[in-house]
Structure 1
Amino acid sequence: MTAPYRIATTLLLAAAGLTLAPANAQTAGIHRTDLVQHDLSAPDREGIQVRVDFEPGAIAPKHSHPGEEIAHVLQGTLEYQLGDQVPATLKAGDSLFIPAGTPHSARNVGTGKASELATYVVKKGLPLVVPAK
């Protein structure tokens, strides 16, 4: 990721109340760590993988992505709300596919810390997180 792109993305996410790594710019109770970002063989696509740690009761407000997301719960219990669907509760070892552009939120509904591994296949050059209206 180029420095100007990283700065612009970080500023946009911070303004939206969401974060992409650096660890010092965080939504209350949520800590994101970038793990991998790499161009894919598909034109104009990149893969991004992050670890997201949720303190008890923390929520990632409703948002969407310019591509698909696969969320895998590493520990704890997270509730995902996708669009108007019934909320899905996932525990450690469970995974969830989130279609491109689908507004969704996630919150820690357990008593301890919860963590997810989020993998994105997204369009290059667009903000990773788009706040839902």
Structure 2
Amino acid sequence: MKIGARFRSILALAASPAIAAGAGGAPPAPHPAPMSAAVSRIELEHSDVPGTDMETRIYLITFAPGTAAPLHHHPVEGIGYIVEGRARSAFGTAAPVTLVAGQGFRDQAMTAHTVFANADARKPLKFLVAYTVRKGTPVMEVP
């Protein structure tokens, strides 16, 4: 798979301890769900979609060892990439799958994200995820 220079730069930043700790990153986009101290969410980049009220955002998200997201859904489809660690993920009634570093994934739109967790009790999970949404719209909603 070919990876563009800009994406390689973002991956390099994702591996940087300063970015992982939150230093120098752009302020996070609005988020309706409370974020646990065990989860770090940094908006790395956003770009307007010309001629629309939409924007694309890419986030670096870190889950501390053993951390799980609450039941939630995404208003739009997202695409992601596991940078470091292992994640367990399931939508709707599907069985959870394990995703590992170097693997891509897709967040389903408007489907209950019933499981999303760091599958490792000792190491952090770091992943990139991008969404194209209406400006100011959250990318995750908790019932």
Stretches (4+) displaced over 4 A: none
Correspondence for 2:93: 84
Equivalenced residues, count:
115
Measured at CA, do residues 65 and 107 of structure 1 come closer, stay the same or move farther in structure 2, by a change above 3 Å? Answer: same
Bigger strand fraction: 1
Report which stretch shifted further, 34-43 or 71-80.
34-43
Question: Within the alignment, does 1:9 sit opposite 2:30 as a pair?
Answer: yes
Correspondence for 1:119: 130
How many angstroms does 1:51 deviate by? 0.5
* C-alpha contact 1:67 1:123 (8 A) present in aligned 2: no
TM-score, reference length from structure 1:
0.75
**Letter aligned with residue 72 of structure 2:** H
* C-alpha contact 1:38 1:46 (8 A) present in aligned 2: yes
User: Mind listing any 5+ residue stretches in structure 2 that lack a counterpart?
Assistant: 1-26
Q: Deviations over 1:15-73 (max 9, x none)?
A: x223xxxxxxxx13111111012211473321011101111101111212221111210
Percent identity at matched positions? 30
Q: Deviations over 1:60-99 (max 9, x none)?
A: 1121222111121000100112121111110000111122
Q: 1:30 aligns with which of 28, 35, 39?
A: 39
Q: Secondary structure at the match of 2:90?
A: strand
Q: Secondary structure at the match of 1:83?
A: coil
Q: Deviations over 1:2-23 (max 9, x none)?
A: xxxx89924xx2xx223xxxxx
User: Mind listing any 5+ residue stretches in structure 1 that lack a counterpart?
Assistant: 1-5, 19-26
Q: What is the Cα-based RMSD across aligned positions, in Å?
A: 2.2
TM-score, reference length from structure 2:
0.70
* C-alpha contact 1:53 1:114 (8 A) present in aligned 2: yes
